[in-house]
Chains A and B, each alone.
Chain A
Amino acid sequence: MKLSVCNLNSHYGPAHILFDIGLEVGEGEVVALLGRNGAGKSTTFRSIVGLVELREGQIMFEGRDISKAPTHEIVRSGLGYVPEERRIFTELSVEENLEVGRQPQRPNAPHWTREKLYQLFPNLGEMKNRPGGRMSGGEQQMLTIARTLMGNPSLVLLDEPSEGLSPKIVEQMVDAILTMKKAGVSMVVSEQNLHFARLISDRAYIIERGRICFSGTMAELDARPDIRDAHLSI
């Protein structure tokens, strides 16, 4: 297993947000984490990378227990995180944004250079010195992913990569994710858009009110319209 999460519980202050979350991601696999807004997708990701202060449970990444490790150590061990809302550094140029994400090469993960990333996202290569704040939403979303890839991760958590983007840009995003997969990057992608998830992922989990309530292949999910309708409310 690339990543396995067992009995994860998280809290914000007095509020208990996640209840006994269990997730597994195999080598090279793309897994979708589906659920509506407020179901706990982002908190799950934030808990895995250690951005939530109160978390309990076991999180194993490449055989190492990372449940107590601080965020920067988790990320340095090869677990990349792309947050929702893009959060690029608007004052920094594209090149400088990539520099912030740069980490040494890793033996068990694909090695990304600026040149390779400019191939993956041709738009970025055309605006190397442009400040992040002067880019469109779609370009910013590509930059956040490229920035995380600069850390040469072997697994990436992608939080709602399609949110707020025009359908056309989302289609480009699908291509990029499939290219990353081909290069050997494992991924967990949180989504509300089932169509998008179907295009990229092998398996899916559904999360509802902080609990995992379904896990299976996309085909299994399609065979259960009851579950899909109850929890994804399409």
Chain B
Amino acid sequence: MTSLDAETVWYLPKKELVNLIESGTFSNKAKQIQFYAPSFVHYKNKYFRSSHNSFPSISITGSSCALKCKHCNGKVLDTMVSASTSAALFGLCEKLKSDGAVGCLISGGCLPDGSVPLDIFIDAIAKVKRELGLTVIVHTGVIDVSSAKQLKAAGVDAALIDIIGSNETIREVYNLDVSVADYEQSLKAFHETKIPFVPHVLAGLHYGELKGELEALKMMAKYSPSAVITIAFMPIRGTPMEKVTPPEPEDIARVLVAAKLLMPKTPIVLGCMRPKGEHRKKTDMLAVKAGVDAIAFPVEDAIQLAESLNLEIYFSPLCCSQIFETINL
């Protein structure tokens, strides 16, 4: 092999990729790994137990989403706490604060243009930051500079955005009439606004196949994100893609490694959405060996592996996007 760059790794046969990962080629140089378990997923094992409502996810559109993407069909919104008016959002955050919450993820369904209508909640979000001091993460869709500036002025701690690098996937899976260029403009908007932003790449979004993920990572690399999170398509019941086979753990690891190679000074994270069961075990183990900086809701075997590799281990009740607050690469 001449040089080990993201492009090379992307096209390596699976066996060669796994051999490189297993041999420690991408091992964790910081010798530490952060495990995250915010309360929007119930997580409990001998190492950590997420506390009730310490960091919930909130939908500002209830279960409504104009896109009804084929992989989600709005089902993920059903798992969030609904707060569909500014007053409801602030009231909910007040209650969360009094119940001991440290923060929340504010998300929601998309409008037909691919944006999440955060702008009409800006005053409430600013009030939550100013009066309650919660850590507030927002999940945006496609966004422009003006809206990014509003989020920055409101004091949000980080903005999350799913970046898609394939026009075909945007059209076919997201049912959305925008392009990869619009996602790049969103990254640029965050970058110019200087708001901490943590883009997500969704491995296997194109019916379980890798398509556009490398392009998405290359776009992200141009705009100095605070961290990069890899999540992976998982079949969800009641969606048009419920029978689609998810990407293999090795392909998820491929995305993680490519992200590391493209952005060596950026924390690389395996995020919360990924296939479950034995698949998750394999993915998490490969992720630790591939040297990721953080994993959300890790399997116990991966925690044990990190221990055996003498990595310093930390658990946090925050959203994994907050890794950039705790690690310097």
Pairing of A with B:
no
Q: Which residues of B come within 8 Å of A, CB atoms?
A: none
Interface residues of A (CB under 8 A from B): none
